[in-house]
A and B are shown apart, each in its own frame.
Chain A
Amino acid sequence: MSIFPYFVSAWLFLIGLYGVVTSRNYVHLIGCLTVVQAATYVLLLAVGYKTGAGAPIFADHPPGTPAVDPVVQALVLTDIVVGAAVTALLLSLVLQLQKHRGTIDPNDLQPTRD
């Protein structure tokens, strides 16, 4: 259990990347990118965790009680929201791609060689 969360994060990164590489549909590819992002969130939060500690909110108990690291939580929470906006940008790129090229299959969209 002492390094299990880090391996879960590496596993999620690996299968997310596998999904990106072997995808047949650009929308499916964007979904696999969200899995890769989830891997980074798990890694960051696992690094900051302290056994037996509470949340870093001291509204009802004095500031001396053990608490987990707030810095990684700040990083992850802005990242989740901004990641969703970037996903929307990627989706609008896919929409434009379909209008211009008529297909959203990565295998049919090889770079032109002429």
Chain B
Amino acid sequence: MMLVIGGLLVLLSVSGLGVVLTREPRRQVLAMAANGLVLSALFMALQAPDVAFSEIVIGSVALPLFFFVSLSSLRANRKRE
């Protein structure tokens, strides 16, 4: 189990770096969803099923929706001017 936790922590460092280094907002949303997936796997490995529940739904449903809808209306407002 320690090996699994260690591997997931390394993967989390890399995916967190990926979220920051992805400058284009629409691609960053997908990087955030991947980060959320790694986080929920880490929470399951740390014996926290409730936390993993929240993170799976928030990281793959709520946050990508909010970001994509906001980016769509930002683009529409920009074109309107």
Contacts and interface: CB of A to CB of B under 8 A. Distances in A.
Note whether A and B contact each other (Cβ less than 8 A): yes
Interface of A: 1, 4-5, 8, 11-12, 15-16, 18-19, 24-25, 27-28, 30-32, 34-35, 38-39, 41-42, 45-46, 49, 51-57, 67-68, 73, 76-77, 80-81, 83-84, 87-88, 91-92, 94-95, 98-99, 102, 104
A51 B2 CA distance: 8
A54 to B, nearest CB: 6
Interface of B: 1-2, 5-6, 9-10, 12-13, 16-17, 19-23, 25, 28-29, 31-32, 35, 39, 42-43, 46-51, 53-55, 58, 62-63, 66-67, 70-71, 73-74, 77-78, 81
Given A31-B29, A35-B35, A84-B63, A95 B70 contact: yes
Given A35-B35, A98-B74, A102-B81, A87 B19 contact: no
Contacts of B66: 84, 87-88, 91
A77 B23 contact: no
